[in-house]
Structure 1
């Protein structure tokens, strides 16, 4: 049987301030411009990953952006691609590539650079227009029945643009910058807020469950200190305390690259981008086996 992760004992008021909401909106617009220019310059057939060309990668991001034009309105708004709501509800971290990503490729087969960039730009413009007066703390049903606030959905889209922009830039030997401030938005507004609001079954798997509590405190120069707790099938947020098991100092861009398997944990540690200490630092390993990204 898979493990169903529940949010439990959400602590503290929301940290989605008006300032952070404005910053998240500005970030997605900024990175979308950079990403679009990169795609227009790059060789469309260059391999951005082991399996995806530059245009596969760009189309993937454009399709997600297009879906989000409906997601930001309400949970009842039809998606522009039929059948996606059921697919999204069934998605977990472990089946996202074979499930949702494959379904998006079938539903959005466009690979012409001009058309894909046009779809991406129009979708992000529409998201920003539709959310101009919206409450950024309003939660949206997301993958696997998880709940993410509107600000978190925007921060997630920025992160998609940043990570896949890096993939494309590396394929064509161009520099690509991931600002720590933008990566910090993904951590605070998306990752932490999903744990606050409800992880649904996005982390379900059939691996043995670690029995007992693991409390991991996260600190960086760009985020508010916070503790995420994993306890035998439940994940929730607490304020940092002296009895946390693990303490992690991180640089946000490196943490994002590590969590999405772009760089190994050892490299992040050796460069000083990830430092781990605490009463029981070895518990970070079982924590990250469960609280993970695709």
Structure 2
């Protein structure tokens, strides 16, 4: 498996990432205020309270990793992560949304406090594999955005995803793509894709016999160029909406020698 080499974040970008993590933790408190914890998450097995408990646990885990602790959590495969999630929820009986929201915010702040004094290029071992500390911060932000989006949809409240925050998730999304390939769907696949996220940096994903390499620029003429609106990009990457529906709504455009590849591109990956 070929992995992209992470690039250190500029100081201003790192500061913006930490500010976004802290702000999102605080927004979780407002989002969960006065809600019913037994409200089901649409399309999922969890309730709002269970999703909040998972977020509190995950934020605590990532704060510990940023502090230099070793915390084994599955082996990076979707099945093992699901099992680890189920086990952690069973061990965490608290289901009061207000209490859990406070924990989410607390551990978001603890992460930035732990990570801040260290180099962003410092290596850490995460539930999805090795990455640098700044990419772990991007991972934390991405994880929070995904689950708080689910909670917001369940409660009928505004979700927290915007273009600026999507930009801060890109280091993690790019790093994780080769790790979350669906081996069956991508087997034997050969194609070069150029992804252009409107208003943000783009990148390329090249498949050779089912193996994916992520790069800043495509190594050859792309077979399919995909232009996508930022929020839609993250929601598709997290499995929260379909590419076909986004194409129909004009949120995604595709062109090139093989533009018909665009709708099936997300299915080459299995979001954990």
* TM bracket, shorter-chain basis: 0.7 to 0.9
Range 29-38 or range 213-222, more displaced: 213-222
Residue in 1 that maps onto 2:156: 173
Residue in 2 that maps onto 1:65: 59
For residue 104 of structure 1, the aligned residue among 88, 91, 108 is 88
SS of the counterpart of 2:168?
A: helix
Residue in 2 that maps onto 1:92: 77
SS of the counterpart of 1:115?
A: helix
Alignment of 1:52-201 (within 5 A): 52-74=46-68, 77-79=69-71, 85=72, 87-88=73-74, 90-97=75-82, 99-144=83-128, 146-186=129-169, 188-194=170-176, 199=179
Deviation at 1:291, TM superposition (A): 2.9
Please give the per-residue CA displacement for 1:206-255, whole angstroms capped at 9, x wherever unaligned: x2653253221111233222112222243222343451111111122111
Unaligned stretches of 5+ residues in structure 2: none
Residue in 1 that maps onto 2:204: 227
| TM-score normalized by the length of structure 2 | 0.87
Mapped partners of 2:17, 2:40: distance in 1: 30
Deviation at 1:60, TM superposition (A): 0.8
Asked if 1 retains the 8 angstrom alpha-carbon contact of 2:8 and 2:134, the reply is: no
The 1:109–1:78 alpha-carbon spacing in structure 2 relative to 1, beyond 3 Å, is farther
SS of the counterpart of 1:223?
A: coil
Residue in 2 that maps onto 1:250: 228
| TM-score normalized by the length of structure 1 | 0.81
SS of the counterpart of 2:78?
A: coil
The aligned length equals 270
Unaligned stretches of 5+ residues in structure 1: 1-5, 80-84
CA RMSD of aligned residues (A): 2.5
Mapped partners of 2:209, 2:81: distance in 1: 24
Mapped partners of 1:276, 1:224: distance in 2: 17
Mapped partners of 1:173, 1:285: distance in 2: 28
Structure 1 residue runs of 4 or more that deviate by more than 6 Å after TM superposition: none
The 1:264–1:284 alpha-carbon spacing in structure 2 relative to 1, beyond 3 Å, is closer
Asked if 2 retains the 8 angstrom alpha-carbon contact of 1:92 and 1:203, the reply is: no
Residue in 1 that maps onto 2:239: 261
Is 1:291 paired with 2:246? no
Asked if 2 retains the 8 angstrom alpha-carbon contact of 1:226 and 1:238, the reply is: yes
Mapped partners of 2:195, 2:125: distance in 1: 26
